[in-house]
Amino acid sequence: MSQGISIIVPLYNKAHTLTRSLDSVFAQIDDRFEVIVVDDGSTDNSPQVVRERYGSRVILIEQKNAGPSAARNTGARHANKSHLLFLDADDELFPDALRTHLLAYERYPKASMCVTSYRTMEDGKTIDERLVGVDELRFDGEFGCFGGFHPMFIFGAHLPSISFAREMYEVTKGFDERLRCWEVTDFLLRANLLNKSIAYTNLITVLKVEDPVNSQFKKERRNTVYLDAVATRILDVIESVPNQYRRRTLRPIKSMLEDLFYAGEFDRFRRIGTLACPQFSQYGIKTRLCFLVRLPNLLLRFLSWRRTVTIARGNSTAIQN
């Protein structure tokens, strides 16, 4: 295994964005990398684009559709470099991205992750998501190193802006292949809990492009099975989270509970709420959902139905106006 970064690209029906993404990889200033594309059963011509445009410069692996977690894990098993970076097939790396990651590991050789800043583009507008100003993060120039868990590296990070030492990835046992959404949150939660040293930088290394055509997260983010699984994971490990970060780690469960309630998944809503609400109370997270958890399903159905009718009437009024 040689020093450098294996760039792993999970691919599913991204022929319309793939070349932009891979071209950005081959424009890197630092050439200590390899590219592994795992096609997860695409029904468009994505694999053909890889073969015809990039040839032997890309290791192309084709598999039956099994979801993004399985595709990333397949790529990692075939990786030959010391570090891993998982790039979405609609995002772009800036030319000095890999050099930035490798420089961070040279500065902090004990670090098993490097988290960078990133830029988001949606509807033609860009927003810079920088780490500078985040509580507890101190910088030596453009870089810094944090000794352990921080919720910013889970809920405020973008996966393609993070690289991992191969050993760290293997200790986490990779992405949970049962999840087709929220799998990144689940993976980063486990990785942060195991980490002893995380390098970070204020430098922007990746452009996150919101794909309006084919976004797995937007399609599946309210899937109640995945919401249940990730909320359960957070609650299972919350006692391992440093006390000062438990409130921020628990906070996303509030929106997950709302999604479960409005989806009519009252059994899941009640189970997660029963576990989460004592924690909410302990760490000062206020929500009326904890009152609803105690109500019978029949009343919950009525309240959910009433909200749906209210929203529909509001939309109808807006259209008429």
Distance separating alpha carbons of residues 50 and 80, to the nearest angstrom: 20
Q: Determine if the pTM surpasses 0.85.
A: yes
Distance separating alpha carbons of residues 201 and 130, to the nearest angstrom: 9
Q: What is the pLDDT along the chain (321 residues), one digit of tens a residue?
A: 799 999 999 999 999 999 999 999 999 999 999 999 999 999 999 999 999 999 999 999 999 999 999 999 999 999 999 999 999 999 999 999 999 999 999 999 999 999 999 999 988 889 999 887 777 888 988 999 998 899 999 998 999 999 999 999 999 999 999 999 999 999 999 999 998 899 999 999 999 997 666 556 666 677 899 999 999 999 999 999 999 999 999 999 999 999 998 888 889 999 999 999 999 999 999 998 898 888 887 777 777 766 554 544 444 343 333
Q: Where are the domains of the chain?
A: 2-211, 222-320
Nearest CA among 207, 206, 198 for reference residue 138? 198
Where would I find the H helices in 64-149?
Answer: 68-77, 97-107
Those residues whose C-beta lies under 8 Å from the C-beta of residue 222, and which sit 6 or more positions away, are 259, 263
CATH topology of domain 2-211: Spore Coat Polysaccharide Biosynthesis Protein SpsA; Chain A (3.90.550)
